[in-house]
């Protein structure tokens, strides 16, 4: 009778300890996996977001700088051409007027 009670208690204690260990091990493994998965996903998302934002900002900055440089270069070239053309036209017309005036003054007889 005593032996059967001890055996029964021992078996039930072993079963409960094994079940408890198994359940706690499963819970700890699942929690550890879940936490590590969440951390890795969050880190991956953060890193990819940072990379994409940095790349996007860099590309936008490069595009805007290139467009700005191109537009300012075009404007300065056009202004320079316009001014130089007007200066050359003015100089040319002044020279032609001077030549024409000097030729007409040479052709007139002096009294």
Q: Each residue of 37-96: pLDDT tens digit?
A: 999 999 999 999 999 999 999 999 999 999 999 999 999 999 999 999 999 999 988 888
Give me the residue spans of the domains in the chain.
Answer: 30-111
- Specify the pLDDT at position 38: 95
pLDDT of res. 111: 55
Residue 26 has pLDDT above 90, yes or no: yes
SS (H, E, C) the chain: CHHHHHHHHHHHHHHHHHHHHHHHHHHHHHHHHHHHHHHHHHHHHHHHHHHHHHHHHHHHHHHHHHHHHHHHHHHHHHHHHHHHHHHHHHHHHHHHHHHHHHHHHHHCCCC
Residue 105: predicted pLDDT: 66
pLDDT for 30 equals 95
- Give me the pLDDT at residue 107, please: 58
What is the pLDDT at residue 99? 85
Q: Is the confidence at residue 8, as pLDDT, over 80?
A: yes
Give the per-residue pLDDT at 23.
Answer: 94
């Amino acid at each position: 009778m005593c032996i059967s009670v001890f055996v029964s208690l021992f078996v039930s204690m072993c079963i409960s300890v094994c079940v408890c260990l198994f359940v706690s091990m499963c819970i700890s493994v699942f929690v550890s996996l879940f936490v590590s998965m969440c951390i890795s996903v969050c880190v991956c998302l953060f890193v990819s977001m940072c990379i994409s934002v940095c790349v996007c900002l860099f590309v936008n900055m490069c595009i805007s700088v290139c467009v700005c440089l191109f537009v300012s270069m075009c404007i300065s070239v056009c202004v320079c051409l316009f001014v130089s053309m007007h200066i050359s036209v003015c100089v040319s017309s002044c020279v032609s007027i001077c030549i024409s005036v000097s030729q007409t003054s040479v052709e007139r007889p002096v009294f």
